[in-house]
Amino acid sequence: MGKDVIIACDFASEKETIDFLDNFHDEKPYVKIGMELFYSVGPEIVREIKNRGHKIFLDLKLHDIPNTVKKAMRALSSLNVDMVNLHAAGTAAMMTAALEGLTREDGTRPLLIAVTQLTSTSEERMRDELLISKPIDEVVIHYAKNAESAGLDGVVCSPLEAKKVHSACGNSFLTVTPGIRFPEGDAGDQVRITTPQKAKEIGSDYIVVGRPITAASDPVSAYRRCVKEFID
pLDDT value at residue 34: 95
Per-residue model confidence as pLDDT tens digits over 28-64: 999 999 999 999 999 999 999 999 999 999 999 999 9
In Å, how far are 69, 96, 118, 133 from 66, measured between CA atoms?
5, 8, 21, 26
Residue 121's pLDDT is 81
Question: Among residues 141, 124, 142, which one has the least CA distance to residue 133?
Answer: 124
Q: What percent of the chain has a predicted confidence (pLDDT) above 70?
A: 96
Predicted confidence (pLDDT) at residue 206 exceeds the cutoff of 80 = yes
Report the C-alpha gap between 118 and 18 in whole angstroms: 27
For residue 35, is it left (φ>0), alpha (ψ between -120 and 50) or beta?
Answer: alpha
User: What is the model's pLDDT at position 232?
Assistant: 78
Q: What would the mean pLDDT of 177-189 be, rounded to a whole number?
A: 75
Residue 61 among the catalytic residues? yes
pTM exceeds cut of 0.85: yes
Of 61, 145, 163, 200, the active-site residue reads: 61
Q: For the residues 6-20, what does the mean pLDDT come to? A: 96
Q: Which pLDDT score is estimated for 118?
A: 80
Question: Which of 175, 150, 141, 156 is CA-nearest to residue 95?
Answer: 150
Residue 15 has pLDDT above 80, yes or no: yes
- pLDDT reading at 187 higher than 80: no
Which residue from 94, 3, 122, 170 is spatially nearest to 85, judged by alpha carbons?
94
CB 193 within 8 A of CB 169: no
CA atoms within 13 A on the CB side of 221: 4
pLDDT digits (tens, 9 = 90+) for 121-171: 888 999 999 999 999 899 999 999 999 999 999 999 988 889 999 999 999
**Burial (CB count <10 Å: 0-12, 13-18, 19+), residue 64:** middle
| CA separation for the pair 211, 217 (Å, rounded) | 11
Among 99, 121, 124, 100, smallest CA distance to 112 is for 99
The model's pLDDT over 89-128, given as tens digits with 9 standing for 90+, comes to: 999 999 999 999 999 999 999 999 999 988 778 889 999 9
HEC secondary structure over 22-38: CCCCCCCCEEEEEHHHH
Is the pLDDT at 67 greater than 80? The verdict is yes
C-alpha span between 204 and 159 (Å, rounded): 6
- What domains sit in the chain, N to C, each tagged with a CATH number? 4-230 (3.20.20.70)
Q: Are the C-beta atoms of residues 162 and 201 closer than 8 Å to each other? A: no
- Going by pLDDT thresholds of 50, 70 and 90, the confidence category of residue 222 is very high
CA torsion sign for 209, 210, 212, 216 is: positive
